């Protein structure tokens, strides 16, 4: 086995202390001279025509420096489907739609100014139910379209109808999955400033700095070359920052109109109302199996509620298809999806991106099938696992694959055999459930490039600086990149400076999503470091008069192999290369765009260059009188190729599990008639430390052939299987199956009462 | 947040005098854990805020000569939770005070704030009502006392009149024959509001299991915390058997007048009243 110096080491996060002690400067903390405070006036109605907007009183309020409406903007649309403008001029399509905005000397004045803006609306009939929205007489939300159907997609492999006929058993369920908020601790933030030459700088919490640069250019008619995005320390993302939202062009335009920098930050309530959330889905699903334990067919129909506008989140159907079509070997599969406009909140990207929904369906039906053929659910899964280096009928080329090991390890550690001998005590019943997941782990080509660039330079003090397109949102990518460069150049990772937050300096990257950063940014940094190593050795050869083949890099020195006394420090190498006629700097650059492909219209294609696999076993305790479900213990095993930093892998798994438990049991944005009923952290419940159970993370290493040092992505995986494993554990405990999320005490209690009345 | 007038009087009389000047829009503040967020979210816009924290003595927890305990309105939840005087006499009060909200909030939030805010789900109300606590009110006409049960008149509403302040609650001397407990049912272990809260206080006949007297108080299932008197009557004067306890649960559920809201449906709340009442009564029986 290869011996590594820095790969696989548990290097703590260098900013952990600063974060815990409040010393990190987040976007919300930023102040620049002459900065104004921006606020947005939002629609109180879900669907209405705007008849008139009177901003005159707001404009006269002392301290107000700019008031804007749709009229102030160039007539450009933005968004995934180009279906909106930053401020709405003709009509509003959801509660919270942006109608006007102000910039003032302080927040109170800005808020007061909003109250002075008078908007006259003519209410239009709204539509909140996605099935209603598809009816021919439904109110049309985007009048330029023929219907509220945004997209219809079909995916088929094999012959699902024949498969359903052939299968010895078929199970069928209807699922209703609700809204979930990404809920990062830091709410949306933007600070926009024009310099005297008219160039724009935007400080942002975005996860897509380079696409934001492009999107702002497109929405505002400013050349992209005049826009610089600087990412502040970001207080979490979870997918929230994957689209440009309206507030960003609004903030820029306020700054332009006021001629002063403008800061715009969401309140927590605004975050709940206006930040994009996980798609609610209605799902009709059938799965079939043969009595001998072969999984035979899956047939799924999805109705996805986009909300009032379409974001990148609508692509979640692709991820959904992947899990239905390729998690376990399944000869026949079909997914039909409709994504629909409604007058509900906008949905978008949230960790897992369609996978928590599909895994919930697929993995609860795996349990149902196992029961129907009288097989242990673990055994049934193991018989159907994906194997390494096989291509699925979907065109997914699996390389490294540790699904079998993950299932076995999760089951072994939780004590799977305990399922058979259950002890009931009082009103508490315990159960154990398992669920697996498959997730892109080598990028995901949903944009024409899935690439990332890196630049590594060594200065004449020997300092190594890495400029990477990768975005750090708390997951630890800066240290991962440093560990990879450190391994190549033979220096301690903490000696490496990472610059990763400024589009004026860093090379392009598509964004932090799809669990792709270790794999792709890591590999591009690896290439850049290798180039630097070549340059160092080239000059060291001359200095040491030894062939490069006999030199190695160690602790900041070029050392002659076998003669540790014969060495030259990096800084000397660099100076020798700089300070001479025809001198050169030591700079290496790397670009990595993985060998994956866009999924075709038929839903097929190898979307990722590698796939991560995982399995979670969860033990729960159900109170049969109150319906309350308490997760007791989670074992989460994940095939991550190779863990560059096991501590961060565990961090991602633990965080993922907690988020998955939230989806399973607690978190629900309650939307009634387009209005969010619980826009507070009190009533939108994340798990607290007291609610989180013991989580045991298991890392399964399979050494991926394509990933940097064999690594694959892990960021989202922990969230995907949790709800299914919890639902399976509840069934094991009390024999009741809940097919809607979150599984509230009330749903459990109702189901128990129905079960009892059915027995009588 | 809109501008407002601010006072920080140093005597109760001065505070009451300021409060009495205004018919509306005047708010006392102590911990500020309810008031400040409401002001920030624009739910209320006070004209006048009167800070009570400079008035000496209001935060004290003092045993009275008759054996009762006076808990000052400005005592924080942390104080109540950790006070041996409260713990030894009324454990259920100390226990719930130590579980409400979160540590930082408990360090600021006060007994008076929890009660005067008059949320139907206020956690201190059911156990204190079950203990027959009295509210001590000071106003322009001097001091008056009302049973805490009668203090609440609706969601966010109390008997406090113009210029009046809650200065303390007085809890009667502990009864050596009595046991009490409060069960809070919430979605989360911390930082949450009760879906339903039930307090039960039972006095047993000396050396026996016969229930001499019982108080059952329900929180979050009516516009105010309420006593379930039919349920109390059903268990009074007889041993607390499983059947009687089940009957009390059923009667308590009947007494509840819950609503549907973001935390739970009326149906679920009513079901939980029965379950929690049973559990509370079992618990005091077992600890007997």
Chain segment A149-197, per-residue pLDDT in tens: 999 999 999 999 999 999 999 999 999 999 999 999 999 999 999 999 9
Decide: A192 and A205 in contact? Cβ < 8 Å.
no
Question: Which is nearest to B279 in space by CA: B255, B239, B252?
Answer: B252
Looking at the predicted structure, is the pLDDT value of residue A709 above 80?
yes
Q: Is A135 a member of any domain?
A: no
Element (H, E) at A716: none
As a whole number of Å, the end-to-end CA separation of chain B is 52
What span, in angstroms and rounded, lies between the C-alpha atoms of A61 and A102?
11
Res A420: pLDDT: 80
Instruction: Detail the DSSP E strand segments found in A449-549.
Output: 452-458, 464-468, 496-499
Q: Which chain B residues contact residue A683 at CB under 8 A? A: 193, 262-263
Where residue A547 sits, what CATH number does that domain have? Answer: 3.30.365.10
Beta pairing, strands B48-51 & B26-29:
parallel
Name which of A113, A682, A742 to mutate to probe chain B: the one with the most chain B Cβ atoms within 10 A of its Cβ: A682
Contact B187/A685, CB-based, under 8 Å? yes
SS3 (DSSP) at A445: coil
A760 pLDDT more than 80: no
Confidence of residue A758 (pLDDT cuts 50, 70, 90): confident
Residues of chain A with C-beta less than 8 angstroms from the C-beta of B185: 626
Distance CA A260, CA B40 (A): 26
Q: Are A713 and A519 in contact (CB under 8 A)?
A: yes
Q: How far off is chain A from B98, nearest CA to CA, in Å?
A: 14
Q: A466 and A419, same structural domain? A: no
Residue A162 belongs to some domain of the structure: no
A578, A589 Cβ separation under 8 angstroms: no
Residues A616 and A749 in one domain: yes
Task: Report the CATH number that the domain containing residue A76 is assigned in CATH.
Answer: 3.90.1170.50
Do A326 and A434 reside in the same domain of the chain? yes
Cα A71 from Cα A65, distance rounded (Å): 17
Closest chain B residue by Cα to residue A115: B42
Task: State the pairing for strand pair A200-204/A227-231.
Answer: parallel
Helix (H) or strand (E) holding A622: strand A611-623
- What is the tally of structural domains in chain A? 3
In whole angstroms, what is the distance from residue A311 CA to residue A129 CA? 19
> Is A495 within the bounds of a domain?
yes
pLDDT tens digits, A278-304: 999 999 999 999 999 999 999 999 999
Contacts for A598-603 with beta carbons within 8 Å, 24 or more apart? A598/A445, A598/A446, A598/A448, A599/A318, A599/A445, A602/A154, A602/A155, A602/A156, A603/A153, A603/A154, A603/A155, A603/A156, A603/A318, A603/A321, A603/A325, A603/A335, A603/A394
Residue A20, pLDDT > 80, answer yes
Degrees, nearest 5: CA angle A594-A447-A205: 100
Which band of pLDDT confidence, cut at 50, 70 and 90, is reported for residue B155?
very high
Q: Are residues A311 and A427 in the same domain?
A: yes
Q: What is the tens place of the pLDDT at every residue in A542-563?
A: 999 999 999 999 999 999 999 9
Reported as type and span, the H/E element at residue A179 is: none
Task: Give the pairing of strands A694-700 and A262-265.
Answer: unpaired
Q: Please tell me whether residues A527 and A614 are part of one structural domain.
A: no
- The model's confidence at residue A422, banded by pLDDT at 50, 70 and 90, is confident
Non-local (6+) Cβ contacts of A603 within 8 A are: A153, A154, A155, A156, A318, A321, A325, A335, A394
| Interaxial angle between packed helices A477-489 and A517-544, expressed in degrees from 0 to 180 and rounded to the nearest 10 | 30
pLDDT at A423: 72
> What pLDDT digit, counting tens, does each position of A98-118 carry?
999 999 999 999 999 999 999
Contacts of A498 (CB under 8 A, 6+ apart): A465, A466, A468, A472, A478, A481, A482
The C-alpha atoms of residue A449 and residue A241 are separated, in whole angstroms, by: 19
Instruction: State how far residue A564 is from chain B, nearest Cα, in angstroms.
Output: 57
| Choice among A6-10, A460-464, A688-692, B282-286 with the minimum mean pLDDT | B282-286
Is A279 within 8 Å of A47 (Cβ atoms)? no
Q: Within the 21-60 window of chain B, which residues sit less than 8 Å (CB to CB) from chain A?
A: 41-42
CA A654 distance to own-chain centroid: 15
Cα dihedral value B44, B49, B53, B59, nearest 10: -50
Among A592, A609, A638, identify where a domain stops. Answer: A592
Q: Is A169 part of any domain?
A: no
Q: Using one digit for the tens of pLDDT, what is the confidence trace for A243-277? A: 999 999 999 999 999 999 999 999 999 999 999 99
Q: What is the mean pLDDT of residues B7-32?
A: 97
Chain B CB contacts of A691 below 8 Å: 188-190
pLDDT digits (tens, 9 = 90+) for B243-288: 999 999 999 999 999 999 999 999 999 999 999 999 999 999 976 5
Q: Which of B188, B263, B271 sits opposite A749 (nearest CB)?
A: B271
Residue A252: which domain range? 31-124+203-222+231-258
DSSP A50-87: EEEEE-HHHHHSTTEEEEEEGGGS-S--BTTTT-B-SS
CB contact under 8 A, B188 and A678: no
Contacts of A682 in chain B (CB under 8 A): 191-193
* The domain boundary residue, chosen from A592, A608, A631: A592
Q: What would the two tokens of residue A630 be?
A: 């308490």
Contact B262 A678 (CB under 8 A): yes
Residues A394 and A457 grouped into a single domain: no
pLDDT of residue B287: 66
Cut 0.90: pTM above it: yes
If asked whether residues A630 and A609 sit together in one domain, one would say: yes
Q: Provide the Cα torsion B181, B182, B183, B186; round to 10°.
A: -160
CA neighbours closer than 13 Å in the CB half-sphere of residue A743: 32
Strand locations in A110-248 (E): 118-123, 149-157, 169-177, 189-194, 200-204, 227-231
pLDDT average, residue stretch A222-228: 97
Tell me the pLDDT tens digit for each residue of A459-510.
Answer: 999 999 999 999 999 999 999 999 999 999 999 999 999 999 999 999 999 9
Mean pLDDT for all residues in chain B: 96
**To the nearest whole angstrom, how far is the Cα of B265 from the nearest Cα of chain A?**
8
* Beta carbons within 10 angstroms of residue A413's beta carbon: 15
Could you tell me if residue A139 is inside a domain? Answer: no
> Among A546, A571, A592, which residue terminates a domain?
A592
State percent of chain A over pLDDT 70.
100
Specify whether A408 is located in the same domain as A313: yes
CB contact under 8 A, A691 and B188: yes
Find the mean pLDDT for residues B146-168: 98
Token look-up 């599984």 returns A743
Contact (CB<8Å) A745/B262: no
User: What pLDDT does B195 receive?
Assistant: 98
Residue A185 lies in a domain: no
How close B230 gets to chain A, by Cα (Å)? 23
What pLDDT was estimated at residue A532? 98
CB atoms near residue B159 (< 10 Å)? 15
DSSP letter for A1, please: -
Whether residues A435 and A467 fall in one domain: no
Least confident of A99-103, A313-317, B162-166: A313-317
The tokens describing B185, both together, are: 């049912």
Residue in B263, B271, B272 nearest the CB of A683: B263
Residue A4 domain flag: no
Q: Tell me what ipTM this predicted complex has.
A: 0.96
Instruction: Give the other-Cβ count within 10 Å of A257's Cβ.
Output: 16
Q: Which residues contact A586 (CB under 8 A, 6 or more apart)?
A: A457, A458, A532, A535, A536, A539, A573, A574, A577
Residue among A80, A131, A86, A148 at smallest CA distance from A347: A80
Task: Compute φ and ψ for A341, nearest 5 degrees.
Answer: -80, 140
Q: Is residue A671 part of a domain?
A: yes
Average pLDDT of every residue of chain A? 97
B286 touches chain A (CB under 8 A): no
Residues contacting A561, CB < 8 A, separation 6+: A550, A551, A552
% of chain A at pLDDT higher than 90: 98
A613 with A755, same domain? yes
For residue A484, cis peptide bond before it (omega within 30 degrees of 0): no
What ranges in A490-613 are assigned the alpha helix state H? 517-544, 570-578
Same domain membership, residue A529 and residue A391: no
Domains of chain B in sequence order:
5-51 (3.30.43.10), 61-171 (3.30.465.10), 178-286 (3.30.390.50)
Q: Cβ-count burial of B262 within 10 angstroms (0-12 exposed, 13-18 middle, 19+ buried)?
A: middle
| Cβ contact A685–B192 (<8 Å) | yes
Chain-chain contact of A682 with B191 (C-beta, under 8 angstroms): yes
Interface test with A, best of B42, B268, B269, B278 (most A CBs within 10 A): B268
Shared-domain flag, residues A433 and A469: no
> Is B188 at the interface with chain A, CB within 8 A?
yes
Residue B229: how many other CB atoms lie within 10 Å: 14
Tell me the pLDDT band of B41, cut-offs 50, 70 and 90: confident
């Amino acid at each position: 086995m290869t011996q590594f110096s820095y790969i696989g080491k548990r290097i703590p996060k260098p900013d952990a202390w600063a974060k815990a002690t409040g010393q990190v400067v987040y976007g919300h903390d930023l102040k620049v001279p002459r900065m104004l405070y921006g606020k947005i006036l939002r629609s109180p109605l879900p669907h209405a025509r705007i008849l008139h907007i009177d901003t005159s009183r707001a404009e006269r309020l002392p301290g107000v420096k700019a008031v804007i409406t749709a009229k102030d903007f160039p007539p450009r649309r933005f968004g995934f489907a180009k279906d909106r403008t930053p401020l709405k001029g003709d009509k509003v399509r959801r509660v919270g739609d942006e109608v006007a905005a102000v910039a003032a000397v302080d927040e109170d004045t800005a808020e007061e100014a909003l109250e002075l803006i008078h908007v006259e609306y003519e209410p239009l009939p709204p539509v909140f139910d996605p099935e209603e929205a598809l009816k021919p007489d439904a109110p049309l939300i985007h009048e330029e379209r023929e219907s509220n159907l945004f997209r219809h997609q079909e995916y088929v492999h094999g012959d699902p109808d024949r498969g359903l006929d052939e299968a010895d058993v078929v199970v069928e369920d209807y699922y209703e999955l609700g809204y979930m908020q990404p809920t990062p601790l830091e709410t949306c933030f933007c600070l926009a400033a024009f310099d005297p030459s008219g160039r724009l700088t935007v400080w942002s919490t975005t996860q897509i700095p380079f696409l934001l640069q492009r999107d702002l250019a497109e929405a505002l008619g400013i050349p992209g070359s005049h826009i610089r995005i600087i990412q502040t320390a970001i207080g979490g993302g979870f997918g929230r920052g994957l689209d440009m939202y309206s507030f960003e062009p609004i903030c820029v335009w306020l700054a332009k109109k006021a001629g002063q920098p403008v800061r715009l930050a969401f309140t927590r309530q605004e975050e709940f109302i206006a930040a994009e959330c996980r798609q609610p889905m209605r799902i009709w699903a059938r799965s079939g199996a043969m009595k001998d334990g072969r999984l035979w067919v899956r047939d799924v129909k999805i109705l996805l509620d986009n909300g009032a506008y379409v974001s990148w989140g609508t692509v979640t159907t692709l991820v959904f298809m992947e899990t239905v079509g390729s998690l376990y070997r399944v000869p026949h599969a079909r997914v039909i999806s409709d994504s629909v406009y409604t007058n509900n909140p906008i949905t978008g990207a949230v960790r897992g991106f369609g996978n928590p929904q599909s895994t919930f369906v697929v993995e609860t039906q795996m349990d149902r099938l196992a029961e129907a053929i009288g097989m242990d659910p673990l055994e049934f899964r193991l018989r159907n696992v994906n194997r390494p280096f096989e291509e699925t009928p979907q065109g997914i080329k699996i390389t490294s694959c540790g699904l079998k090991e993950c299932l076995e390890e999760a089951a072994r550690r939780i004590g799977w055999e305990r399922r058979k001998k259950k002890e009931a005590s009082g009103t508490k019943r315990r159960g154990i459930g398992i669920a697996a997941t498959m997730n892109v782990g080598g990028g995901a080509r949903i944009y024409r490039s899935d690439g990332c660039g890196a630049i590594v330079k060594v200065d004449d003090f020997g300092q190594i600086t890495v400029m990477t397109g990768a975005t750090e949102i708390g997951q630890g990518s800066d240290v991962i990149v440093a560990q990879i460069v450190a391994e190549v150049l033979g220096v301690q990772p903490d000696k490496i400076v990472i610059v990763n937050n400024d589009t004026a300096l860093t090379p392009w990257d598509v964004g932090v999503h799809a669990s792709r950063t270790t794999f792709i940014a890591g590999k591009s940094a690896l290439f850049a470091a290798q180039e630097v190593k070549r340059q160092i050795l080239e000059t060291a050869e001359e200095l040491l008069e030894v062939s490069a083949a006999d030199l190695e890099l160690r602790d900041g020195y070029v050392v002659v192999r076998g003669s540790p006394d014969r060495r030259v420090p990096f800084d000397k190498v660099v100076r020798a290369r700089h300070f001479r006629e025809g001198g050169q700097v030591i700079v290496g650059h790397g670009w990595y765009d993985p060998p994956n492909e866009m999924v075709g219209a038929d839903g097929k294609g190898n979307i990722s260059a590698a796939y991560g696999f995982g399995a979670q076993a969860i033990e729960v305790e159900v109170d049969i009188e109150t319906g309350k479900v308490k997760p007791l213990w989670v074992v989460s095993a994940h095939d991550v190729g190779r863990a560059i930093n096991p501590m961060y892998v565990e961090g991602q798994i633990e965080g993922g599990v907690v988020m998955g438990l939230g989806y399973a049991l607690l978190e629900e944005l309650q939307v009634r008639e387009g209005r969010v009923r619980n826009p507070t952290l009190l009533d939108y419940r994340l798990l607290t430390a007291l609610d989180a159970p013991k989580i045991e993370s298991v890392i399964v290493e399979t050494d991926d052939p394509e990933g940097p040092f064999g690594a694959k992505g892990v960021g989202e995986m922990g969230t995907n299987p949790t709800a299914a494993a919890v639902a399976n554990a509840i069934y094991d405990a009390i024999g009741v199956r809940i097919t809607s999320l979150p599984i509230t005490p009330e749903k459990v209690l109702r189901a128990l009462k129905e079960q009892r009345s059915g027995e009588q | 947040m809109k501008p407002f007038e601010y006072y920080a009087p140093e005597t109760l009389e001065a505070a009451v005098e300021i409060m009495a000047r205004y018919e509306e829009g005047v708010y006392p503040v102590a911990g500020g854990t309810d008031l400040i967020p409401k002001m920030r979210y624009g739910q209320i816009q006070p004209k006048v805020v009167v800070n009570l924290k400079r008035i000496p003595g209001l935060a004290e927890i003092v045993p009275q000569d008759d054996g009762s305990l006076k808990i000052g309105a400005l005592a924080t939840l942390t104080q109540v939770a950790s006070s041996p005087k409260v713990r030894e006499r009324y454990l259920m009060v100390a226990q719930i005070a130590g579980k409400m909200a979160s540590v930082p909030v408990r360090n600021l939030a006060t007994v008076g704030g929890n009660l005067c805010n008059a949320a139907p789900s206020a956690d201190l109300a059911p156990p204190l009502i079950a203990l027959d606590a009295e509210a001590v009110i000071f106003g322009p006409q001097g001091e008056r006392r009302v049973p805490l049960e009668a203090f609440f008149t609706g969601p966010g509403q109390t008997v406090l009149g113009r210029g009046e302040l809650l200065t303390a609650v007085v809890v009667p001397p502990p009864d050596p024959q009595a046991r009490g407990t409060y069960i809070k049912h919430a979605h989360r272990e911390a930082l949450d509001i009760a879906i339903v809260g039930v307090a039960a206080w039972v006095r047993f006949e000396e050396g026996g299991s016969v229930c001499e007297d019982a108080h059952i108080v329900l929180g979050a299932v009516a516009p105010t915390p309420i006593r379930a008197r039919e349920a109390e009557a059903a268990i009074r004067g007889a041993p607390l058997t499983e059947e009687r306890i089940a009957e009390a649960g059923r009667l308590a559920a009947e007494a509840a007048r819950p609503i549907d809201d973001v935390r739970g449906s009326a149906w679920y709340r009513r079901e939980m009243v029965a379950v929690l009442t049973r559990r509370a009564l079992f618990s005091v029986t077992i600890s007997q």
